Amino acid sequence: MIDSQVLERHGLKPEEYDRIVKALGREPNLTELGIFSVMWSEHCSYKSSRVHLKTLPTDGPQVLQGPGENAGAVDIGDGLAAVFKIESHNHPSFIEPYQGAATGVGGIIRDIFTMGARPIALLNSLRFGSLDAPGTRRLVEGVVAGIAGYGNSIGIPTVGGEIAFEPSYAGNPLVNVFCLGIAKASDIVKGVASGVGNAVYYVGAKTGRDGIHGATMASAEFDEKSAEKRPAVQVGDPFMEKLLLEACLEVMQTDALVGIQDMGAAGLTCSTTEMGSRGGAGIEIDVALVPQRETGMTPYEIMLSESQERMLLVAKRGREAEVERIFEKWDLHAVKIGEVTDNGFLRVRERGTLVAEIPNRALTDDAPLYRRPVSEPDSLRELQQLDLNVITCPADNNAALLALLQSPTVASKRWVYRQYDHMVRTNTINLPGLGAGVVRIKGTDRALALSVDGNGRYGYLDPYRGAMLAVAEASRNVACAGARPLGATNCLNFGNPERPGTMWQFAKAVEGIGAACRALNVPITGGNVSLYNETDGTAIYPTPVIGVVGLLEHANHVVGRQFRESGDAIVLLGVDCGELGGS
Amino acid sequence: MRFGVVVFPGSNCDEDAYHAAKDVFGQDAEYLWHKDTDLKGADVVILPGGFAHGDYLRTGAMARFSPIMREVAAFADRGGPVLGICNGFQILLEAGLLPGAMLRNRSLKYQCEHVHLRVEQTDTPFTSAARSGQVLRIPIGHGEGNYYAPPETIARLEANRQVVLRYTDPQGRQDDTSNPNGSVHAIASICNERRNVVGMMPHPERACEVLLGGEDGRVIFDSVISALARGSEKPALLEVGRRA
């Protein structure tokens, strides 16, 4: 039965268990415990980060959708919206680089098209240990191949990104993936369930045992036994997702949907409770109706599975046949597995027998909210005691420059981006390699510039400033393309929040992001937090990664990034403060 | 004139081909769903790039079982112009409408980059507006574009002038470094014996607008548009192809 070992395996603390008992008015059964464990995991509940994230600026006249939905959206004129978000898939990519990265791409794409937007571009921000350390090459090759394999196959161009190599990330690579889509501003679809009696449909791939407790795994550190967590990594099928994307966009055009959400982390559990919560409704489903690709799956397994390429949707009354017809055209499963209710409960049945019954609010709005202790690390004050006078200048500046250009983080990444299809959909104006990606918007004269940028070392030395610089860099890259930044999304990669030093870094970084976003008038429209990025007690550098989207009124006015004519003047803007840049 | 762009589950360059035909070249264009058997009066059929059927079994292997392919084959048999781009070329090979096969790039990696192509033959519907020896800068995007056929087949293709485009350097010289994927004889495009079915690995639809980096792909579309306007490339196919 449920003892301390079971609790530990579920990533739940004894105090959290007590809260569960209080919320239910009784002890939970194992299925209910599983449901709580994934919904209350750091990855799904943001329990350590919510109090800080609430301080971020999220408003602006151009914001159509701020944090809280599957992705954010900004108005780009002509009745259109740019829908975008960034997400992390760090832990799965360490365990299984190809599939971890591939399913990261798959997941963020679903977050975009579930809002009714056609995805048109991808970016990624990758961080690994030193390139010559053992194991790094395997990670890099696997991650790049996974991103390429998934993105190319589904036909969405990867138009830019960044890659850094730093020992800090050796045991905890960072794979942050960003996706941008275009929707009609008036047709943005929400992940909401409402209308008592409306049918709840499961569409897409069959459910298997892959990825169970993926959310829990992403909410914990690694140790020697981490390789055993392999089955917790999901397996992706980009072809299936392409079909799902086309079918979902087609069904959304019919206006037959009340709401739709992808099944990502915590699969069926997360989508049902979140959709129910947003609609102030309840959802009742029977897991026996869920298409399964393995035999003998228990309700626990079905509710927690993170099998990819699945969506949950609520159809308007009377429109069910239309919905089923469209999915059938694309040879996809579309099965009614339940109904919307008005009691605010998530009720799970198996062949009619009730196997789990939990108030939605307990899983979402009333999930634990922690204000964890923060404390500036002593080591940081020591680090800041640097006397610039002890630094000697290089004897040979030319040699120093070549050494810089040769360092893997600075050197050309062509060997990476030529593996990404960056031209499919014939919108790409700026090819990868320098600064922001730029894609035109067909049917208009406009274009969007997009960039993801982050830093670790700066944040390590000064988390507040480092985070500000990440926002500034992404905004600058977009501005340098000739675009006005409209909105930002953040991916916050940090260590264990239960350590006051790490939590201090996080809190400072969020403050820094807020300050920079306010100064630059670039609101945050959504994002992702990845905590517990540490191995054997050592955390990564605090690494905020920021994605910024900007608008060019005229696609033809994109600003180039190369020296052109001999004799042209080179102008340096800004003030040189004689800094070392954290080198 | 009307372009018919076939859409298989997993095709992802269909919208690009449609956009080129309709928005860039101002022609009529229709999507042809793989489960249908109606070519909708298309004067020219394009099999676009992508990952039809998820490359299940082999790239392009499953597409020949789609109902639309029977009609495409019949259309080709009547002399109708058919262009297979990238995955479309792979599908034409698997469907037996063109000889040979595609292997993985010799780098074993997907490659997305610009390459240079030399026009070898100008008597196909898709190169009739080009000059013999003209060099075109057009992008590729593929992981399996390494064209292969047994030596006898290659010899026959060369003898019959069925090699339409070859990978070269910007000056039109063929050498190993300018061959992006290891294709035999640097073959980037071939046609059938009748010269109405052409397969090409590079993506001309990605090179029709200066904004996107170049216009050398235009000549592929210009060729078939002017060829059909002249009426020289098809006997009775235009009338047979159109709906009443």
- The residue with tokens 């098809």 is B234
pLDDT, position A354: 97
pTM of the model: 0.94
What are the residues whose beta carbons fall under 8 Å from the beta carbon of B157, sequence distance 6 or more? B99, B100, B149, B163, B187, B190
- Angle (CA) A466 A467 A469, round 5°: 65
User: CA dist A317 to A197, A323, A340, B31, Å?
Assistant: 8, 11, 11, 31
pLDDT, position A223: 63
User: H or E segment at A400?
Assistant: helix A397-406
Task: State the catalytic residues of A.
Answer: 43, 89
Residue A51, judged by CB atoms within 10 A of its CB (0-12, 13-18, 19+), counts as: middle
pLDDT, position A384: 79
Among A331, A418, A428, select the one facing B113 at the smallest CB separation.
Answer: A418
Question: Where residue B233 falls among pLDDT bands split at 50, 70, 90?
Answer: very low
pLDDT average, residue stretch B90-101: 98
Total beta-carbon pairs less than 8 A apart between chain A and chain B: 85
pLDDT average, residue stretch B169-174: 98
pLDDT, position A235: 85
Chain B residues whose C-beta is within 8 A of a chain A C-beta are: 9-10, 12-13, 15-16, 19-20, 23, 35, 49-51, 53-56, 109-113, 139, 141, 143, 203, 205-206, 209, 211-213
pLDDT tens, A516-549?
Answer: 999 999 999 999 999 999 998 899 999 999 999 9
pLDDT, position A216: 66
pLDDT, position A434: 76
Task: ipTM value, please give it.
Answer: 0.93
Nearest Cα of chain B lies from the Cα of A283 at a distance, in angstroms, of: 33
- Kindly determine whether residue A152 and residue B110, on different chains, have CB atoms separated by under 8 Å: yes
pLDDT of residue B115 exceeding 90, the answer is yes
pLDDT, position B236: 38
Nearest to A298 by CA among A309, A313, A288, A308: A288
Positions of chain A with pLDDT lower than 50, given as ranges: none
**Token pair in block for residue B20:** 């080129």
Among A242, A424, A556, select the one facing B211 at the smallest CB separation.
Answer: A556
Calpha distance A404→A244 (Å, rounded): 45
Catalytic-residue membership of B203: yes
pLDDT, position A379: 84
| CA dihedral sign, ordered A431, A435, A436, A438 | negative
Catalytic-residue membership of B205: yes
Calpha distance A93→A236 (Å, rounded): 13
- Kindly determine whether residue A421 and residue B9, on different chains, have CB atoms separated by under 8 Å: no
What are the residues whose beta carbons fall under 8 Å from the beta carbon of A20, sequence distance 6 or more? A12, A28, A32, A33, A36, A362
